[in-house]
Amino acid sequence: MSIAKKALPAQANRALLPHIREVMENLELRNKEAEEARKLLATRYQAAYARFEKQLMLLNLKGSAKQEEIELFCKEFKHIMPSRELKRLIKVKIHQAHPATSHLPQLLDASMIKNIEDRLEIIHAQTLYELLRSPRKSTTSALFQAAQALYADEVRKHPTAEVTTRIELAGFAMNLFKTDEMRARYEETLRQMSLQQLLKDITESTRRSEIKEVHPRQVLYYLKKAEEAGWSEEEALDQLKEHGRTQQWFITVPQRRAEKTDSETSVTGSIESISPQQAHTNGEGAYQARFQRTIRRNVCRRVKASILILVQLICLTALMQRKPDFWQPIRQLLTWGNQAHVALLALSVKSFQHYAQTQLAAYVPITTLHDSIAVLSLLLTILINSLSIALILTPGIPILFILIGLISGSAIGLRNLGKVLLTAHLRLYTRREVAQTKDIMLQPAQRGYPFEQGWNIENLVVEEIVGTFHELKQNWSTATDIVTDWKRGRNWFIRHWVSLIKTGCRLAGLVQDGLSMEISALCASLYITFLLLWDAGALLCIGLLRIIQALYPRLRSRTLPCPDCRQKITIPISICSTCITECPQRGPGLYGIFWYRCQGCEAKLPTLNLYGSRRFTHLCPHCRHVLNY
């Protein structure tokens, strides 16, 4: 800033000095200036908060953001609210950084790769696995043996160009498959080469077009081939974007809403583009027109369905009131139908009398006409009675489904609870067996049921119940979808009854799911209460026995020196008489009050000398000397 520019604000501030002195000397003016200052600060804060909301919205609209960007955002708007509150408002997915290249295996030398590629091209092979005729899942030792066998076989043959090439490739294979580290470097090199080949193919395809744009189908093809080569979708997409920046490409990133077909390049479902905008403007008009037609059609359907449901609710309300004169209008309607039938028959008889006197009776017999009129009147009566019965049964169908949900909900809830409890017990035993077979370090002994197994079963029950009831609800939803698909293209009468069944299925699913969940939650609450009471009683008993052990040495293991190493022994090692397993002698505690389980055979071992702990063989924990204890 020049001197003139600095002087102008200084002169303006100097001119304000008399006004400042006047304000400072007058209390009323000072309060007025303070009020205006507070208003100005509030206005600036509102503007800053509006800017913060706009930037937060733009940040949440992004697909993902890096951690550094989140930290800079929190640092910039820390005057609005604390960083912890800001991070709660940020809903964007945080982009996880890929592992550093130092953690990945190193690539092979470029000269070695070129020599291998040149020789593989001579024998028309792609990789060394194809040369050795071994799958890529083979072990390193098996591949090394296959390379040795190939080398020994080719050396005995007459030296030709192809034989020499195979010998050299076998030597490369023995070098690469000698250790797991070299094989990992070769695998990583193949992975990088496959991605570079894909990028090269896309570059050749884009080079022919004036607009350097990678279309959604090309991106999907690239991602599919990259996944087959061992790349994750996120890593492959990042590599494509990085390559696109260097080539100055427009990349249209698709959002797959449906699964791809078995074809490599075909895509089912709509594709949403984020860049450039011209990629989706062509079908926007057709989409808007189709959307408006769908909205109008759905509005008409919803209005009709609402009217039918309103009539059903009125009928249902009348049924629930159970007034004595409720059935009187329906009975009167049936009576009117029968009277109409009788009147029609009487009118027919009178007409037949006049008809017999006419000349048409010679051409059309009176019996035929009588039968036709009788059949028509009977059909009319059946139609009137059917409509009356349909009006009566209209509110009864949802009630019937609700009753089905009430009856089956309790039974299904108890059945699922028992099934889940059995599954939880089996999973616990399987988990311990797997831990023993895999040499996992277990606890010194198995804890008591109220301290470990009971709570593990409770957690498993909660997980299984949620999944089971979700599947139960999905069954009713599937039935509703089937009924909805069936009513398409039908007339209004069939659609009305199908709508009733659809409503009944939804109500039955809600009632059944809610009742089953309530029963299971009630049983789970009782189970938790029982476990808490059990825990409290067990802890009280353990504390009492510990006090008794401290007061009465007869119940406690004696502190004696070992006769061999002369070390003091507090708790000797016990030998289980069933499986000959060393088990540390334990007092009353979380692993058992009066007994605890052996880790080898789960046999009961006593915790007190009164219950037979002296009958077991004991060892010194220092020198493993057998004690006469």
- DSSP helix/strand/coil, 589: strand
Percentage of the chain exceeding pLDDT 90 = 0
- 144 closest CA partner among 186, 110, 190, 112: 186
Residue 567: what are its φ and ψ, rounded to 5°? -85, 145
The domain ranges of the chain are 3-95, 103-279, 323-393, 396-549, 558-627
Query: Helix, strand, coil proportions of the chain in percent (round to 5)?
Result: 70, 5, 25
End-to-end CA distance of the chain: 96
Separation of alpha carbons 30 and 200, rounded Å:
74
Task: Write the DSSP assignment of 591-623 as a string of letters.
Answer: TBSSEEE-TTT--EEESSGGGTGGGSEEE-TTT
Q: Please state, in angstroms and rounded to a whole number, the distance separating the CA atoms of residues 383 and 341.
A: 11
Structure confidence at residue 514 (pLDDT): 66
Lookup: tokens for 512? 């059944």
Structure tokens at 598: 């052996």
Segment 135-163 mean pLDDT: 84
Cis omega (within 30 of 0) for bond into 276: yes
User: Could you tell me the two tokens for 581?
Assistant: 């397993």
Phi, psi of 363, rounded to the nearest 5 degrees? -95, -40
Residue 416: name the closest of 489, 470, 359 by CA.
470
pLDDT at 556 over 60: no
The length of the chain is 629
C-alpha to C-alpha distance for 355 and 221, rounded to whole angstroms: 84
430 compared with 479, residue with greater pLDDT: 479
Provide the mean pLDDT of the chain: 67
Q: Which residue has the higher pLDDT, 452 or 137?
A: 137
Q: Which of 293-302, 450-459, 497-506 shows the lowest per-residue confidence on average (mean pLDDT)?
A: 293-302
CA-wise closest residue to 615 among 570, 591, 593, 585? 585
Instruction: Specify which residues 64 forms β-bridges with.
Output: 93
Question: Residue with structure tokens 């909805």?
Answer: 484
Lowest pLDDT segment from 131-135, 179-183, 226-230, 447-451: 447-451
Q: How far apart are CA 559 and CA 99, in angstroms?
A: 56
CB neighbourhood size of 167 (10 A): 17
* Placement of tokens 């401290």 in the chain: 550
Alpha carbons 442 and 241: distance in angstroms, whole number: 48
pLDDT at 361 over 70: no
pLDDT in tens, 197-242: 888 887 887 777 777 778 777 788 888 888 877 787 777 787 787 7
- Locate 486 and state its tokens: 């069936």
Least confident of 186-200, 302-316, 342-356: 302-316
The pLDDT of residue 446 is above 80: no
Band of pLDDT at residue 160, cut at 50, 70 and 90 = confident
**Residue bearing the bigger pLDDT, 444 or 533:** 533
562: left (phi over 0), alpha (psi -120 to 50) or beta: beta
DSSP 8-state code for residue 449: I
Amino acid at 569: I
Distance CA 456, CA 428 (A): 8
Q: Cβ–Cβ contacts within 10 Å for residue 583, how many?
A: 20
Q: Please state the rounded mean pLDDT for residues 176-205.
A: 82
pLDDT reported for residue 436: 44
Cβ atoms of residues 416 and 520 within 8 Å? yes
- pLDDT of res. 497: 65
pLDDT at 372: 59
Which residue pairs, CB below 8 angstroms and at least 24 apart, start in 212-215?
212/247, 212/248, 212/249, 212/250, 213/249, 213/250, 213/251, 213/252, 213/276, 213/279, 214/240, 214/244, 214/249, 214/250, 214/251, 214/252, 215/252, 215/279
Sign of CA pseudo-dihedral 547, 549, 550, 553: positive
Q: What is the pLDDT of residue 488?
A: 54
Both tokens of 618, joined, read: 């004991």
User: What's residue 169's pLDDT?
Assistant: 86
Beta carbons within 10 angstroms of residue 43's beta carbon? 10
Query: In one letter, which amino acid is 501?
Result: I
Predicted local distance difference test score (pLDDT) of residue 227: 80
- Residue 78 clears pLDDT 70, i.e. is over it: yes
| Predicted confidence (pLDDT) at residue 543 exceeds the cutoff of 60 | yes
Q: What tokens were used for 497? A: 């009854």
Local structure of 341: helix, strand or coil = helix
The answer on pLDDT for 390 being more than 60 is no
Residue type, 387: L
Query: CA-to-CA distance for 96 and 298, rounded, in angstroms?
Result: 43
Task: Render pLDDT for 469-511 as a digit per residue (tens, 0 to 9).
Answer: 656 666 666 666 666 665 555 556 666 666 666 676 766 666 6
Is residue 462 very low, low, confident or very high in pLDDT (cuts 50, 70, 90)?
Answer: low
Residue 356 has pLDDT above 60, yes or no: no
Mean pLDDT to the nearest integer, 408-425: 63
- Report percent pLDDT > 70 for the chain: 43
**Chain-centroid distance, C-alpha 85:** 27
In whole angstroms, give the CA distance from residue 249 to residue 209.
11
Closest by CA position to 600, among listed 444, 470, 454, 488: 444
Q: What is the rounded CA–CA span in Å between residue 576 and residue 582?
A: 6
